Amino acid sequence: MKKLKQICLGMLVLPAVAWAQGPVQLQDWGQFFVGGQLVEFTGADGSKYQEVINQNLVTFATPTELRHPDPIVLVPGLGLTNFFYTSTPDNRRGWVEALVRQGHAVYVFDPVNYGTSPQPATPFMMRADNNLPEGVSADTVPVPATWNYADIWERWGIGPEENLPYPDNRIIDTHIDEFYASWATRWGLPSGGGGRNAPAGPAPFPYEVLAGSEEDGLVQLLEMIGPAVVAGHSAGFNMVDGTAESHPQLYTAVVALESVSCGPSWEDKSALPFLSMFMDYAYIGRADGRLLRCANTAKAVREAGAEGDVLLLPPFPPVTDVITPEELANLKEVGVSAGVAGNNHIFTQDNNNDKLAVALSLWIKGRVNNPNPPANSELWSDIVAAVQD
């Protein structure tokens, strides 16, 4: 499907606000859709239901002065939306503006059934009409689901319980309701994971028409804009990783932002630079295992001939029942600690989010398509300095 909508404003100067460092000059800005097809379902009585499905919303901004040739594609985590990168609850600049200020073209990709990209409505209309296709049970029609307000505090490393942030946490908790408001409903099965997990086994209605749509849309976007640095947050990294395996020629680097998984399924196919970023959340619950997997990925990428790095915001962890001395040594071999505490799993909303974006920008400029890359010590000295208070 071609773009359904695009806003192209030529030169756009956004007004300066209290937290901005002067006006932002853009040569292009807007939204469009990639993917999507018209499908038709037939009800038990023979009536037709038609709908466009599998379209992915893309939000983009291009500065007037590009200071790196490769665009950045940002994929939000499970149940989140482009708001995760475009704004913050208290109206500070989001990662998109921060990266544009560093001279990058930025594209935020909302996967189908993840963010604000539309989910199919036809199954619900057919169920309401008691007109599901022959052989389809109402039990296989998805149900709406989203994150539980009370669960995310501990789960995402914000605080030990609801409305009680950790003392050094950097989230702007006085405005966190604005972040809740950005969550999108997604469809899941009536049982299993509260609708948060992908269905297993034979595809229930209408998942047979959704299969692969997320990666297909990401591939179409990358084919449109050229090879790019692609970053995925949390479970959003799964499709970044999978697409890098199937289409490595569309990538110039892979970035895992507090990722649930960490490959590497692609390191033997292409020498792609790799960066993993972890915050304090790395030490909460199961996330420390995720950090170790990303360290293994970085090491495998180095062995394949590319740059593989881990940027850990807090100090290195001690040896624990999860982190062995060997694993800690491996982490220190590929990782750098900035010694900055207080960030959580939703760090693009934190009070130092712009500094974290600058750190990513410095890594890209130093590691990706740079014919005269800086020395390691110089690069990491600049990155660590950029995130200090």
| pTM exceeding 0.85 | yes
Region of 358 on the Ramachandran plot (φ > 0 left; ψ -120 to 50 alpha; else beta): alpha
Phi, psi (rounded to 5 degrees) for 126 = -65, -40
Among 157, 14, 178, 99, smallest CA distance to 355 is for 99
Quote the pLDDT of residue 270: 62
Quote the pLDDT of residue 212: 55
pLDDT < 50 regions, the chain: 1-20, 191-204, 209, 211
| Bond into 206 cis (ω within 30) | yes
Bridge pairing between strands 24-42 and 274-278: unpaired
Quote the pLDDT of residue 89: 87
Q: Who contacts 177 (Cβ-Cβ below 8 Å, separation ≥6)?
A: 89
Beta bridge partners of 37: 53
Question: What would the pLDDT profile of 294-334 be if each residue is shown by its tens digit?
Answer: 999 999 889 888 999 999 999 998 888 778 899 999 999 99
Quote the pLDDT of residue 206: 56
Q: Sign of dihedral through CA atoms 288, 291, 297, 301?
A: negative
Quote the pLDDT of residue 195: 37
Among 147, 114, 135, 146, smallest CA distance to 204 is for 135
SS3 384: helix
Bridge pairing between strands 186-188 and 228-233: unpaired
Helix 287-303 to helix 325-334 angle, to the nearest 10 degrees?
Answer: 60
Q: What mean pLDDT value characterizes the chain?
A: 82
Structure tokens at 154: 């501990």
Among 114, 87, 79, smallest CA distance to 20 is for 87
Question: What would the pLDDT profile of 89-136 be if each residue is shown by its tens digit?
Answer: 888 889 999 999 999 999 999 988 766 776 777 777 777 788 887 777
Domains within the chain, CATH numbers bracketed: 12-386 (3.40.50.1820)
Q: Who contacts 82 (Cβ-Cβ below 8 Å, separation ≥6)?
A: 57, 59, 76, 108, 110, 115, 116
List the Cα angle 275/280/284 in 5-degree steps: 110
Q: Sign of dihedral through CA atoms 314, 317, 322, 323?
A: positive
Quote the pLDDT of residue 10: 32
CA distance 305 to 271: 6
